[in-house]
Amino acid sequence: MTEYNIFSENIYPDWAIDEKFFIDKAREILKFYIEQPEITKYFCLKNYEYDILSFDFLYCDSKKTHEINKEYRNKDYPADIITFAIFADTEDDERFVFDGEINLGEVIIALDKVIEEAEKKGTDKEYELSFLISHGIMHLLGFDHQTEEDYNFVISMQKKALEAVGYV
């Protein structure tokens, strides 16, 4: 049975999120994705043996995501989410499994953007955060959305995952 090591740090002072709750949701979402044949057929973990999957969340503000975007991605704007998919973005022959563990990478989420989006959509901020968490996990697994077809696939899988973990 696979172990999921998910770590998080919240440096955004205006929302003391329940990190354990969201780590548990992320774990459920990841388990859901790994059970879906339409995901496992194409994900970055295909053909790798592992006992542990790990990744990190950093919760911050859009000022921080703007800095990260400029420094690491050469993009001059704040983002609601930035994903560094270390394993997925590495060439196959350079990927490694260390002591049965794969480090998928890091997901950085701007909580002020989550709050703005929830207000704009009329949803609760916990749902919006879970939606971004599910989105980040899709990126960690190697899914992108450069085409409309890919975007629709990612969004549909996110909706299915959130429904499976108790969001309707």
pLDDT digits (tens, 9 = 90+) for 46-56: 999 999 999 99
State the pLDDT at residue 168.
55
pTM across the whole model: 0.96
| pLDDT, tens digit (0-9, with 9 covering 90-100), for 1-43 | 899 999 999 999 999 999 999 999 999 999 999 999 999 999 9
| pLDDT, tens digit (0-9, with 9 covering 90-100), for 98-120 | 999 999 999 999 999 999 999 99
DSSP codes of every residue in the chain: --EEEEEEEE--TT----HHHHHHHHHHHHHHHHT-HHHHTTSTTTT---SEEEEEEEEE-HHHHHHHHHHHH---S--SEEEE-TTTTS-GGG---BTTEEEEEEEEEEHHHHHHHHHHHT--HHHHHHHHHHHHHHHHTT---SSHHHHHHHHHHHHHHHHHTT--
Domains of the chain (ranges plus CATH)? 3-164 (3.40.390.30)
